[in-house]
């Protein structure tokens, strides 16, 4: 039988590894796991064995499941004065954003446990076979492309924190970072991936790699051996809802991203037909929806950032009341895969920005989830011990009116839900093609400011900024606005669109 499949991802190497696995007889889940291992090599700022994420899977028989392998808060909290925890500034050019890094920013990683669980439940190939392409990539090296070079520039302070990090990521640039065209070899990471293929998740949760992470955290961190031994992947029922008669399936609570996207789409539906794309009315309506979503998130979140009574946000009384205000008031990487057998996979993973230290001898940089303001809206060091961190990540499936199925997701911290919201709206409200829906300029509302991406009509932008007040107008497209990599299956036809904001690439088989 001739193999078919399509992959959309954030790097050529990630997409190509996933494509090769499909061509070799793997299914969508084999492809997405192998693609994640490759992303840890080719997209190291965005994906890491020291991070976490979510897989939304729809099987050929129509059944669905959500794998939650996101980071968990430590079981014990160290005194704030004892922590290695300090701020750095990431410079996106038009805007700067503060993150906190150091050993005290590391939450319990779930990536390794997640890949092992997915492989055990859904994949045909062994973990060793799925890790092999990434081992080869790490040994031979990956040429740094312009987008990855830009990411290293944005978060350069993190990659200059420790001598071991500078040794691996120093590159050829005068500032001591990787530059476009550098061949980046990672032999320690290759050894780690190879050991993972042999030993499985035990390597991390009970073995040598975990022991080294605990040693790293001895000075200024929270994690201990029990944090790693007790971590579990959680299999959840996805959140399902309808938007203008189209079925949407996404990440359920306790993560916030999926429920907030559902809430925003519910507000748009209550407000009536969507105005034409790019019009002042359409931009203003999206901006007001984003503002209402942010207000509601603050009003309904507890000290850990989790939404209280999340289903209340989707109740008709809440949506109707807020829709009246619409009418009368004025980071992360993603891999989407569809195979020819009917399986769909949406994998979103994150390492935050990285903590700035490597697990000694491993080539693996752990996350800084405890230092992400977006994940700690009530303030740092207020998390509840031993609980899943509430994430904005929202791997999503959209069923179109004509029977087509779209698999999508995004990186970009708080901005990812704005990006997914707008792509879904373009597909449903404006009958846009996949490519158009991804390429169109975006908005994002945060901290009482509307960010407007370059690409809208300048007269419309000026009018919107004048009416809404505090607006920042970006000169061009930027990774700040997320990166939606998506694939479409319509009957026997498969298609894909990678987001150029985050190095998007599409590869297909058959």
DSSP H/E element including 509: strand 505-509
Three-class SS state of 212: helix
| Average pLDDT over every residue of 92-112 | 90
Mean pLDDT for the chain overall = 91
Catalytic residue list contains 348: no
- Distance separating alpha carbons of residues 502 and 14, to the nearest angstrom: 13
This prediction has a pTM of 0.93
> What's the confidence (pLDDT) of residue 174?
76
Q: Are 48 and 54 a contacting pair, CB within 8 Å?
A: no
> What's the confidence (pLDDT) of residue 374?
76
Confidence category of residue 325, pLDDT binned at 50, 70, 90: low
- Distance separating alpha carbons of residues 313 and 414, to the nearest angstrom: 18
Three-class SS state of 446: strand
> What's the confidence (pLDDT) of residue 307?
63
Confidence category of residue 470, pLDDT binned at 50, 70, 90: confident
Q: Where are the beta strands (DSSP E) in 35-93?
A: 52-58, 64-68, 86-91
| Average pLDDT over every residue of 72-81 | 95
- Evaluated on CA atoms 45, 171, 102, 298, the torsion sign reads negative
> What's the confidence (pLDDT) of residue 466?
86
Helices (H) and strands (E) counted in the chain, each on its own, are 16, 22
| Average pLDDT over every residue of 177-184 | 93
- Residue 414, pLDDT above cutoff 90: no
- Residue 42, pLDDT above cutoff 70: yes
How many percent of the chain have pLDDT more than 70?
A: 93
DSSP for 102-120, written as a single string: SGGGPPBP-HHHHHHHHHH
| Average pLDDT over every residue of 167-181 | 87
- Distance separating alpha carbons of residues 246 and 441, to the nearest angstrom: 23
The reply to whether CATH 3.40.190.10 applies to domain 236-333+392-509 is no
DSSP for 230-258, written as a single string: T---EEEPPEEEEETTEEEEEPPTTSSHH
| Average pLDDT over every residue of 323-336 | 65
- Distance separating alpha carbons of residues 7 and 336, to the nearest angstrom: 6
Bigger pLDDT: 205 vs 479:
205
Confidence category of residue 329, pLDDT binned at 50, 70, 90: very low
- Residue 453, pLDDT above cutoff 90: yes
Distances in Å between the alpha carbon of 100 and those of 4, 22, 357, 381, 414? 43, 39, 13, 12, 16
Cis peptide before 254 (omega within 30 of 0): yes
- Distance separating alpha carbons of residues 450 and 473, to the nearest angstrom: 8
Mean pLDDT is lowest, of 181-190, 305-314, 389-398, 405-414, for 305-314
- Distance separating alpha carbons of residues 296 and 263, to the nearest angstrom: 10
Q: Are 256 and 71 a contacting pair, CB within 8 Å?
A: no
pLDDT tens for 276-315 read 999 999 999 999 999 888 887 766 666 556 666 666 667 7
Considering 73, 332, 348, 396, which one is annotated as catalytic? 332
- Residue 361, pLDDT above cutoff 70: yes
DSSP H/E element including 506: strand 505-509
Confidence category of residue 446, pLDDT binned at 50, 70, 90: confident
| Average pLDDT over every residue of 240-254 | 94
- Residue 418, pLDDT above cutoff 90: yes
Given the DSSP bridges, would you call strands 471-473 and 449-452 parallel, antiparallel or unpaired? parallel
Quick one: which of 107, 119, 144, 108 has its CA closest to 36? 119
């Amino acid at each position: 039988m001739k193999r078919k499949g399509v992959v959309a991802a954030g790097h050529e190497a990630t997409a190509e590894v996933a494509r090769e696995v499909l061509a070799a007889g793997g299914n969508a889940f084999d492809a997405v796991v192998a693609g994640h291992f490759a992303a840890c090599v080719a997209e190291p700022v965005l994906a890491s064995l020291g991070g976490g994420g979510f897989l939304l899977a729809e099987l050929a028989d129509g059944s669905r499941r959500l794998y939650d392998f996101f980071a968990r808060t430590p079981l014990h909290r160290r005194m704030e004065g004892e922590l290695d925890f300090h701020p750095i500034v990431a410079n996106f050019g038009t805007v700067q954003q503060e993150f906190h890094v150091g050993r005290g920013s590391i939450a319990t990683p779930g990536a390794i446990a997640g890949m092992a669980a997915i492989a055990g439940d859904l994949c045909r190939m062994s973990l060793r076979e799925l890790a092999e392409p990434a081992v080869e990539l790490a040994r031979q090296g990956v040429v740094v492309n312009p987008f990855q070079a830009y990411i290293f520039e944005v978060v350069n302070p993190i990659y200059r924190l420790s001598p071991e990090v500078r040794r691996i990521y120093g590159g050829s640039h005068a500032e001591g970072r990787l530059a476009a065209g550098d061949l980046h070899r990672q032999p320690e990471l290759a050894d780690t991936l190879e050991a993972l293929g042999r030993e499985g998740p035990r390597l991390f949760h009970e073995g040598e790699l975990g022991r080294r992470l605990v040693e790293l955290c001895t000075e200024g961190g929270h994690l201990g051996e029990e944090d790693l031994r007790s971590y579990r992947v959680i299999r959840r029922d996805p959140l399902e809802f309808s938007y203008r008669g189209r079925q949407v399936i996404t990440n359920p609570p306790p993560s916030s991203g999926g429920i907030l996207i559902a809430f925003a789409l519910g507000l748009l539906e209550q407000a009536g037909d969507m105005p034409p794309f790019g019009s002042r009315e359409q931009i203003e309506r999206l901006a007001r929806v984003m503002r209402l979503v942010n207000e509601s998130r603050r009003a309904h979140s507890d000290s850990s950032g989790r939404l209280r009574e999340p289903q209340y946000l989707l109740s008709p009384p809440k949506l109707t009341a807020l829709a009246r205000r619409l009418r009368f008031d004025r980071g992360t990487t993603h891999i989407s895969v569809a195979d020819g057998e009917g399986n769909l996979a949406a994998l979103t993973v994150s390492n935050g920005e990285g903590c700035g230290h490597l697990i000694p001898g491993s080539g693996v940089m752990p996350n800084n989830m405890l230092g992400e303001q977006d994940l700690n809206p009530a303030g740092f060091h207020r998390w509840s011990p031993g609980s899943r961190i509430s994430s904005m990540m929202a791997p999503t499936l959209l069923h179109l009116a004509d029977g087509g199925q779209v698999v999508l997701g995004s990186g970009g911290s708080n901005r990812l839900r704005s990006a997914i919201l707008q792509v879904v709206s373009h597909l449903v409200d404006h009958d846009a093609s996949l490519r158009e829906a991804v390429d169109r300029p975006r908005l994002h509302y945060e901290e009482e400011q509307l960010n407007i991406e370059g690409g809208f009509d300048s007269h419309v932008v000026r009018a919107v900024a004048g009416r809404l007040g505090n607006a920042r107008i970006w000169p061009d497209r930027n990774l700040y606005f997320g990166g939606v990599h998506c694939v479409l299956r319509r009957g026997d036809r498969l298609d894909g669109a990678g987001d150029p904001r985050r190095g998007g690439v599409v590869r297909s088989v058959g």
